[in-house]
Chain A
């Protein structure tokens, strides 16, 4: 038998048992204490275990092993039926497996019961079905760019790519220099950098790879230097234009499809057993997310619920009521599959202008709040009043939703320092463009690229209220949402499996779904 020594268990035992089912978030102090108690070496291996709990976890693991050895017949069944959650939280993963072994198989596991039993206590659950796009967010491999060229012509390109790599690297160096000048306020030097870069661009392939991305960043810097930080024409795109671009982005790469799919899974599960359900969509667009949910609800055992959908979107300038049009189409679909459906559109140019009473939430219904890449737009702080994010999160909570699904980009584009933001964005969007190129879907990628280009322009050339693309990483969202009174609902191995399967339909190399502490990322 292997013994373990307890010499490594030094220090204080400050941790209380992990309370994932509390209705209120733990006070900040206690959370900081428990952070310090985490075993640092296991953290480096991707597991969060409190040092004070190591012995307990070890004992449970031993019990689990014994149980597994004693019931080999159950093992295959167990393995295929169990839904695993949040493997980083080793203690609870082991416990959930143990309970599977000890409880008779028709009893749902502890995790699923959690959400239900806490319904009567004021507890709001949110899941982050976050397709961090793209997950590998600091990844500049020039090699990839030149490889794209090599796919077309073989031998003669070796010389060209060497030159290309050289110019490509010079471009990146210059971009950084230019950004640094901008941060320092040295606009004359920045302008001459811009000129040099525009010259370099003529010698580089701008159809793909570094040349293309650099081109967009040069444009964005140019805008900032010459047109100022007010946004101007970037944010002025009409709602109609935005919808078209969004639609092409949706078609060209898997991110939005993954987002919708995973969010719908979570909503479906949350609505299980409820007969009156209400989905609030923070950005309806063409309502692309909802047909799949309507169909899934139609097929659920026990029959579909009464479904209300409230879609928020910008007002249409030309008298068209585009929200209503989408609603009508969705109603048609719902009728065709016998789902009782009601739609309501809420026109608002900014999310912070929406007031909860506009949503007309009925106290008897189960509410799902669905936000696909909208919350980050609320992170600009207004010196006059509360930051909009706090206001909005607080009224969401006041609606007492059964679930809130949040999708955000996994990127760090809201740092105060311009150079930091610029560098992050350069890496992030380079990878983003690479990933777009990896998709072999037959579609007009150019419009999808313009969609991305607008994001770049906003991150780089806007400030203040004009800068709305304020992406923040998962860790910050977790803290913010917990602080607003939301409890994380973990996406399990079943959602993971289905998302992975969906990905295989998109014929694209280099994409993978990963589990990250209860969230799924693409």
Chain B
């Protein structure tokens, strides 16, 4: 039961900071949250082979940050060609990434997520579009899903994100914690609308339910996370008066819907063995299997939440390999 020291400091710092931001009456100190969040600007100059630029939606003020591998030709640096596709011959995967934060915290320009997305670009040789969504408690269900869906449509309609001989945008949806939950829901909306998504990558996705599972009881308060804070975030996100069996929280629960017959993308679900909500995540995996959907579970025994923020542990490298394989297996 060992976490590297700097990871421990990082996640404990978040825990303490978040405690200060959540108020018992369900309101949230957004100013303090934005003040404390460490943000980084986009950088059109390649750093470690990756450059980034932002697109701000004029109407909503929401940010999409695009990360791309930099050209090997130095004279092409710092100029983004929005006229040409990513490649006319090869397929370049585009990962739409939804950051975590329990629907309440963080942004696409948060340092931890900027760093993570850059790593994803290099590992998968993909373009990553990190997407902001309206957060709770100011904006409840279904705002995050609507924003995610809008972002997917935006990505799908960019000619400069197209690749391959079939000239289309080859999209994967990904997200951690609440971002994983959003990815699932956006994938459902996409499947229903006939919009093609090649795969879902869910990193300890945020699900729950009204009952208390064994893992929740066993791990409550043991590894940075408490049931009390989980409950707070659901109360902040779900419509007022709703309980945790609302399908946004519990997609395969008593009020869930089946995905039978739906052209749902294949899924890679990553579960951290020390995450107290793992029973819900495992139930999600079973739910997908029962609907006949293709799903792979990566269960990382000794991992805590946030293990992927710093590349200082085996789980991190294992995860990156799996994601790489998950995507590259489509490229043949």
Chain A interface residues toward B at CB < 8 A? 1-9, 39, 41-42, 44-47, 49, 54-55, 57-58, 61-62, 64-65, 68, 72, 75-76, 78-80, 82, 84, 87-88, 90, 94, 97, 135-144, 147-148, 151, 162, 165-166, 169, 172-173, 176, 423, 427, 438, 493, 496-497, 500, 509-510, 512-515
Most chain B beta carbons < 10 A, residue from A46, A80, A509: A46
Q: Are B56 and A87 in contact, CB atoms less than 8 angstroms apart?
A: no
Residues of chain A with a CB closer than 8 A to B29's CB? 79-80
Q: Are A45 and B82 in contact, CB atoms less than 8 angstroms apart?
A: no
Q: Does B4 contact A (CB under 8 A)?
A: yes
Residues of chain A with a CB closer than 8 A to B42's CB? 136, 138-139
B17 nearest CB across to chain A (Å): 8
Q: Which one of B3, B15, B309 contacts A45 once the chains associate, using CB atoms below 8 Å? A: B309
Considering only residues 1-18 of chain B, those with a C-beta below 8 Å from chain A are 1-10, 12-13, 15-17
Residues of chain B with a CB closer than 8 A to A42's CB? 6, 9-10, 310
9-residue interface stretch from B31-39, B97-105, B145-153: B31-39
Residues of chain B with a CB closer than 8 A to A55's CB? 5
What CA separation (Å) do A49 and B32 show in the bound complex? Answer: 21
Q: Which one of B10, B31, B78 contacts A47 once the chains associate, using CB atoms below 8 Å? A: B10
Residues of chain B with a CB closer than 8 A to A515's CB? 35-36
What CA separation (Å) do A512 and B36 show in the bound complex? Answer: 14
Q: Does B241 contact A (CB under 8 A)?
A: no
A41 nearest CB across to chain B (Å): 4
B237 nearest CB across to chain A (Å): 21
B299 nearest CB across to chain A (Å): 20
Q: Which one of B8, B16, B112 contacts A4 once the chains associate, using CB atoms below 8 Å? A: B8
With contacts A46-B112, A80-B29 known, is A58 near B9, CB below 8 A? yes
A64 nearest CB across to chain B (Å): 6
Residues of chain A with a CB closer than 8 A to B31's CB? 493, 496-497, 500
Q: Are A90 and B13 in contact, CB atoms less than 8 angstroms apart?
A: yes
Q: Which one of A1, A61, A75, A176 contacts B20 once the chains associate, using CB atoms below 8 Å? A: A75
Q: Does B111 contact A (CB under 8 A)?
A: yes
Q: Are B79 and A169 in contact, CB atoms less than 8 angstroms apart?
A: yes
12 additional contacts (CB under 8 A) given A46-B110, A143-B55? A5-B4, A41-B310, A54-B5, A58-B12, A61-B9, A138-B45, A142-B82, A169-B81, A176-B79, A438-B58, A509-B61, A515-B36
Q: Does B19 contact A (CB under 8 A)?
A: yes
Residues of chain B with a CB closer than 8 A to A75's CB? 19-20
Interface flags, B185-208, vs A, CB<8A=1, else 0: 000000000000000000000000
Q: Are A2 and B1 in contact, CB atoms less than 8 angstroms apart?
A: yes
Q: Which residue of chain B has the shortest Cβ distance to A142 in the bound complex? A: B82
B98 nearest CB across to chain A (Å): 19
With contacts A79-B29, A514-B39 known, is A64 near B16, CB below 8 A? yes
Residues of chain B with a CB closer than 8 A to A136's CB? 41-42, 54
Q: Are A41 and B312 in contact, CB atoms less than 8 angstroms apart?
A: yes
Q: Does B80 contact A (CB under 8 A)?
A: yes
What CA separation (Å) do A49 and B237 show in the bound complex? Answer: 34
Q: Are B15 and A65 in contact, CB atoms less than 8 angstroms apart?
A: yes
What CA separation (Å) do A69 and B79 show in the bound complex? Answer: 51
Residues of chain A with a CB closer than 8 A to B87's CB? none
Q: Which residue of chain B has the shortest Cβ distance to A513 in the bound complex? A: B34
What CA separation (Å) do A41 and B310 show in the bound complex? Answer: 6
Interface flags, B114-132, vs A, CB<8A=1, else 0: 0100000000000000000
What CA separation (Å) do A135 and B42 show in the bound complex? Answer: 10
Q: Which one of B7, B15, B36 contacts A87 once the chains associate, using CB atoms below 8 Å? A: B36
Residues of chain B with a CB closer than 8 A to A46's CB? 38-40, 110-112
What CA separation (Å) do A496 and B309 show in the bound complex? Answer: 27
Q: Does B311 contact A (CB under 8 A)?
A: yes
Residues of chain B with a CB closer than 8 A to A5's CB? 2-5
Q: Which one of B4, B19, B79, B312 contacts A172 once the chains associate, using CB atoms below 8 Å? A: B79
Residues of chain B with a CB closer than 8 A to A140's CB? 44, 53, 78-80
Q: Does B23 contact A (CB under 8 A)?
A: yes
Q: Which residue of chain B has the shortest Cβ distance to A509 in the bound complex? A: B61
Q: Which residue of chain A has the shortest Cβ distance to B29 in the bound complex? A: A79
25 contacts between A and B (CB under 8 A): A3-B3, A4-B2, A8-B4, A8-B5, A45-B112, A54-B6, A64-B16, A65-B15, A65-B16, A68-B16, A68-B19, A94-B16, A137-B41, A138-B41, A138-B44, A138-B45, A139-B53, A141-B80, A142-B80, A144-B55, A148-B58, A162-B83, A438-B58, A509-B58, A513-B34
Interface flags, B281-308, vs A, CB<8A=1, else 0: 0000000000000000000000010000
Q: Are A500 and B9 in contact, CB atoms less than 8 angstroms apart?
A: no
Residues of chain A with a CB closer than 8 A to B165's CB? none
With contacts A46-B40, A138-B41 known, is A166 near B5, CB below 8 A? no
Q: Are A510 and B4 in contact, CB atoms less than 8 angstroms apart?
A: no
A36 nearest CB across to chain B (Å): 16
B129 nearest CB across to chain A (Å): 12
What CA separation (Å) do A166 and B83 show in the bound complex? Answer: 6
Nearest 9 Cβ contacts at the A-B interface: A46-B38, A46-B111, A138-B44, A4-B8, A79-B20, A4-B5, A497-B31, A41-B310, A61-B12
Q: Which residue of chain B has the shortest Cβ distance to A493 in the bound complex? A: B35
Q: Which one of B15, B36, B54 contacts A84 once the chains associate, using CB atoms below 8 Å? A: B36
With contacts A47-B38, A509-B58 known, is A3 near B80, CB below 8 A? no
Q: Are B6 and A2 in contact, CB atoms less than 8 angstroms apart?
A: no
Q: Does B70 contact A (CB under 8 A)?
A: no
Q: Are A44 and B111 in contact, CB atoms less than 8 angstroms apart?
A: yes
What CA separation (Å) do A72 and B20 show in the bound complex? Answer: 10
Q: Are B44 and A139 in contact, CB atoms less than 8 angstroms apart?
A: yes
Q: Does B215 contact A (CB under 8 A)?
A: no
B92 nearest CB across to chain A (Å): 18
Q: Are B9 and A54 in contact, CB atoms less than 8 angstroms apart?
A: yes
What CA separation (Å) do A497 and B30 show in the bound complex? Answer: 10
